[in-house]
Amino acid sequence: MEGWVIAIIKVVFIWVWVLLIATVMTWVERRGAAMMQDRLGPNRAGPFGLFQPLADGIKLFTKEEVLPKKAHKVLWNLGPLLFALPAFSAYAVVPFGDKIILGGKEIILQVSDVNIGFLYVLAIGSLAVYGIVLGGWGSNNKFSILGGLRSTAQLISYEVPLGLALLAVVFVYGSFSLRDIALAQQGTFLGFLPNWGVFKQPLGFILYMVAIYAEANRVPFDLPEAESEIVAGYHTEYGSMELGLYLFGEYVNLVTLSTLVVVLYFGAWHIPYIDISKFLGPVSWGIVSFLILYLKVAFFLWLFVWVRWTIPRFRYDQVMGLGWKALIPLALFNLFITALFIQLSA
């Protein structure tokens, strides 16, 4: 009885929390870009323009929905849903804090600690491509189809290095459960290095970072929606909240992927050399661990923005070349080295 109540509370909480981050992200993206480009950015709605995402949301909700002539109605409507849903549901297995003890009951800050959480994330992550392809196909627009095709090829190619990089992490920590991996990153190894994934898997970390930029369709891999080439790619024809779902799903995706980076490579809620949980009560530690985790996530979210406004975008064939000729061999090499180390040290 109580179990599922807690589960629902957790689901609602993390859903609202992720939505909140994604909303704030749209603001950060625009203000951050403006500040890098010697501009001011949106600063009219509310203090510092903080209500701008809200205004945009209202606008998107109240706009008229336009279905292009000869568009495939079912696919057209399915596209945005299929894009946004996986982004949210991937969060089901991602931990958002250590644990909290309320009324003598231990609650882990994770919707569900599945022992194959890893595979679940990968599987759900690759579902998002259907949203893009269906949206691109259903729009009955050549630019949309091009965007959808680009996206398919790109996501499929980059899923391989992503998976291989993650596999190396599994080798190191010996578990498929994201919570187990997070817990295993406490303490130090070799005497001085924190037990974080980034120090145990430096190459894997770089590969993973590159791959998630491609997975999230961000610059330099934003070809599916490269506005100067194919107008807006797969969401050229979309408007109103269907477009909103695409844009929102993208930001939710960013949050999910950034959280995964932190959980897998940046020690989740651990701070190097200090074990704060000893100094804090069970409730406050739960909250503090949550905050530490999201502070780290905030950095990676900012990194997305920062990189986006610094570098140009790839060309389609260069993306493929980078993926297949550089990242996949490197990922295999990384896997091989990791396996060798583990074998030798065992």
Partner 1 sequence: MARPVVKKKYTLGERIYLLEILKGMALTWKHFVFNVKASFRPGPHTVPTCWQYPEDRTREISPVYRGLHMLCLDEKGREKCIACGTCAKTCPAHCITVKKGKRKEGEEDKYAGKMYCASFDIDLLHCIFCGLCQEACPKEAIVLGREFELAQYTREECHLDKQKLLANYRKAKEEGKLRPPRKAVPVVPAPPKPEVKGASSKATEVKKGQVEVKKATKKAKNAEKAKSGD
Partner 2 sequence: MNQDPVSQVDQERLGELVTINIGPSHPAMHGTLRVITVTDGETIVKAEPEIGYLHRGVEKLGENLTYHQFIPITDRLNYCSAIPNNVSYEMAVEKLMGIEVPEKAQLIRVIMMELARIADHEVCVGILGVDLGAFTPFFYLIIQREEIYEIFEWYNGARLTNTFGRIGGVDADLPDDFEERWRELKPNLRKANEETEKLLTHNRIWMDRTIGVSAFSPEDALNWGFTGPCLRACGVKRDLRKDEPYCMYDQFDFNIPVGEHGDVFDRYKVRMIEMEESIKIIDQAYKLYKEMPADAPLKARVPKVIKPPAGEVYSALESPNGELGFFVRSDGSDKAYRIRIRPPCYMIYQAFNDLVKGGMVADLIACISSLNVVAGELDR
Would you tell me which residues interact with partner 2 (CB under 8 A)?
33, 36-39, 142-143, 146, 150, 219-220, 222-223, 226-231, 309-318
CA dihedral over 232, 48, 61, 9, signed as positive or negative:
positive
Estimate to the nearest angstrom the gap between the alpha carbon of 310 and the chain centroid. 20
Site string for partner 1, 40-69 (x = CB under 8 A): x-----------------------------
Rounded to whole angstroms, how far apart are CA atoms 187 and 184?
8
- Closer to partner 2 at the Cβ: 25 or 223? 223
**Helices 282-308 and 2-36, axial angle in degrees (round to 10):** 40
**Residues counted in the chain:** 346
Residue-wise burial string across 125-164, b where 16 or more C-beta atoms lie within 10 A, e elsewhere: bbebbbbbbbbbbbbbbebbbbbbbbbbbbbebbbbbbbb
List, in order, residues 6 or more apart from 51 with CB less than 8 Å away: 45
- Closer to partner 2 at the Cβ: 6 or 326? 326
From the list 115, 92, 122, 123, the residue with the least C-alpha distance to 177 is 115
Q: What residue 226 binds from partner 2, partner 1, none (CB within 5 to 8 A, per partner kind)?
A: partner 2
The site that binds partner 1 (CB under 8 A) totals a number of residues, namely 14
310 binds partner 1 (CB under 8 A): yes
Q: Decide: 218 and 304 in contact? Cβ < 8 Å.
A: yes
- Closer to partner 1 at the Cβ: 37 or 284? 37
- Binders of partner 1 among 202-261, rule CB under 8 A? 206
- Closer to partner 1 at the Cβ: 92 or 206? 206
Which one of 13, 37, 74, 275 is in contact with partner 1 (CB under 8 A)?
37
309 binds partner 1 (CB under 8 A): yes
Which residue type does 182 have? A
Can you tell me whether residue 114 is helix, strand or coil? coil
Q: What residue 35 binds from partner 1, partner 2, none (CB within 5 to 8 A, per partner kind)?
A: partner 1
Rounded to whole angstroms, how far apart are CA atoms 38 and 22?
24
Taking the complex as a whole, the smallest distance from the CB of residue 328 to partner 1 amounts, in Å, to 16
Q: What residue 325 binds from partner 1, partner 2, none (CB within 5 to 8 A, per partner kind)?
A: none
Rounded to whole angstroms, how far apart are CA atoms 163 and 274?
31
Q: What residue 228 binds from partner 1, partner 2, none (CB within 5 to 8 A, per partner kind)?
A: partner 2
Other residues' Cβ atoms within 10 Å of the Cβ of residue 88: 21
Only segment of 30-38, 174-182, 240-248, 271-279 that touches partner 1 (CB under 8 A): 30-38
Which one of 11, 307, 320, 328 is in contact with partner 1 (CB under 8 A)?
307
- Closer to partner 1 at the Cβ: 78 or 206? 206
Q: What residue 2 binds from partner 2, partner 1, none (CB within 5 to 8 A, per partner kind)?
A: none
Q: What residue 306 binds from partner 2, partner 1, none (CB within 5 to 8 A, per partner kind)?
A: partner 1
333 binds partner 1 (CB under 8 A): no
Q: Decide: 255 and 21 in contact? Cβ < 8 Å.
A: yes
Rounded to whole angstroms, how far apart are CA atoms 42 and 34?
8
Which one of 20, 295, 311, 342 is in contact with partner 1 (CB under 8 A)?
311
The residues binding partner 1 (CB under 8 A) are: 32, 34-40, 206, 306-307, 309-311
